[in-house]
Amino acid sequence: MTARKIVVALGGNAILASDASAQAQQRALRETAKYLVKFIQQGDSLIISHGNGPQVGNLLLQQVAGNTPDNPAMPLDTAVAMTQGSIGYWLQNAMAAELADLGIEMDVATVVTQVVVDENDPAFDTPTKPIGPFYTSKEVADIQSANPEFQFVEDAGRGYRRVVPSPRPIGVVEAGAVNQLVNAGIIPIAAGGGGVPVIRHGHELIGCEAVIDKDFASEKLAERVGADQLIILTAVDHVYVNFNTPKQQQLTAVSVDELQQHITDGQFAAGSMLPKVEAAIEFVTHRPEGQAVITSLTNLGQFIETGSGTVISAVNVETNV
């Protein structure tokens, strides 16, 4: 088999379950590494991206709890960079240990990655992404008096949460550095948590209060590094239509046109499967010679061996590749 360049996008919930301690997340990543090294064993070049939703949420809680005039809470773009570093640190050590156990000499490096967004993206006018803790109406009034630019929404009767924009990525600043690492035989961990959202102002990159969807950021990274395959990991082995109904049907090999029709038919939930499907479509549209795959972490072995999972191609296909 010809060696491929593969971007694997891990979900933040694959790292953190009920136990938010560093030790528990490190143990989870060691298990994750056992699956990821299978790509190295078959000769592929691997780039790892990951989510950070639970982790950045916990960090924001800690920031709020410790916020004082002398020790102010860090802005959101910095919090994303902080979780890129912490998760990358855990993951690169987990990968290095697993590679060493297999007798594979290979370095792993975390790249704190900036992802460019358009300051005119309409998402900045309609913030929708909830972040941080729940507040009472009284707490919201106090916070908004000090931060009039903050916006809040009521969330399912549990209180109010701040919402921030979720703009689409248009570039990955460190894509060239990631490619250089791959070419040097190093496994990069990049675009963690959707990347640090930045806006270009001349020669400067200015961080902004936003959260980029990690699937779209992973797609943009895969596109910019010229990946052969983008693998988006989620909780299920396949994408389904008529999910959780008697007519449920898994999708195996599927084309962009077919997926577009399923989107039109309202088959995919906006908060879960839809962004993954849209990111997959975007990747194979920009790289028609490539493939996007949506499956679960625990199914990676079966995918590598048999092609099990949902494989998306730019044109109609009859069987999994």
Give catalytic residues, as residue numbers.
12-13, 129, 214, 276
Cα–Cα distance, 1 to 319 (Å, whole number): 18
How open is the CA angle 108-217-252, to the nearest 5 degrees? 90
Spatial CA neighbour of 96 closest among 106, 88, 86: 106
φ/ψ bin of 194: left (φ > 0), alpha (ψ from -120 to 50), beta (otherwise): left
Cα–Cα distance, 271 to 273 (Å, whole number): 7
Which of helix, strand or coil describes residue 21?
coil
Half-sphere exposure of 275 (CA within 13 A, CB side): 20
For residue 189, what are its two tokens? 């961990």
Q: What are phi and psi of 43, to 5 degrees?
A: 95, 10
DSSP-assigned letter for residue 257? H
Spatial CA neighbour of 182 closest among 214, 232, 227: 227
